[in-house]
Copies of this chain bind each other. A is one copy, B any other.
């Protein structure tokens, strides 16, 4: 019970901080704002997170896990058809760009905000992006690509490009743009 309340408060602070970090940027959000929005004392925040950087790392780790959870659910629904799986991924990713408060990929944004390669945020982001390419490569292999690593890299560029190009695309444009591009890239990779 105590344990539950403890983790409940920790999760509450993390959820509020995550929303603020994503909406306004990590450096733009101070701990004073976080505790005010969460309605908790600053002491409580620092009881569960040793520093702000620890809170940032927890935010990015959480986003990473949620992303792969969604990915996995879509993958499981298309376990028998790699091509259908890829298109399904492009669909839910593309649909995110049209969400009202969309503000890019948290990992990419974190890399833009923190320049030190040793910063935990950078390392979590790097792992996240490497994992994305790894998963795309397994799909490319199942698609019988001639050079699956290259196809995976190209698909990753498209996806990362979509993440940072929402402001350049019309609301309903992203999904067909991505899916058509994937179709053409795949066609060129299976001779």
Contact = CB atoms under 8 A, between A and B. Distances in A.
Interface of A: 23-25, 27-28, 103-104, 108-109, 111-115, 126, 129-130, 132-133, 150, 153-154, 156-165, 167-169, 173, 176-178, 180-181, 183-185, 187-189
A108 B113 contact: no
A156 B169 CA distance: 10
Nearest to A178: B157
A162 to B, nearest CB: 6
Contacts of A114: 25, 28
B157 A24 contact: no
A183 B161 CA distance: 18
29 contacts: A25-B27, A27-B27, A27-B28, A103-B115, A109-B112, A112-B112, A126-B167, A129-B168, A150-B177, A153-B169, A153-B173, A153-B177, A154-B181, A156-B165, A156-B168, A157-B162, A157-B165, A159-B161, A160-B160, A160-B161, A160-B165, A160-B168, A161-B161, A161-B162, A180-B188, A184-B184, A184-B185, A185-B185, A188-B188
Contacts of A103: 115
A113 B180 CA distance: 31
Given A150-B180, A160-B160, 9 more contacts: A25-B114, A27-B28, A108-B112, A126-B168, A156-B168, A157-B165, A160-B165, A160-B168, A161-B161
Contacts of A23: 115
Given A27-B27, A113-B28, A115-B28, A154 B177 contact: yes
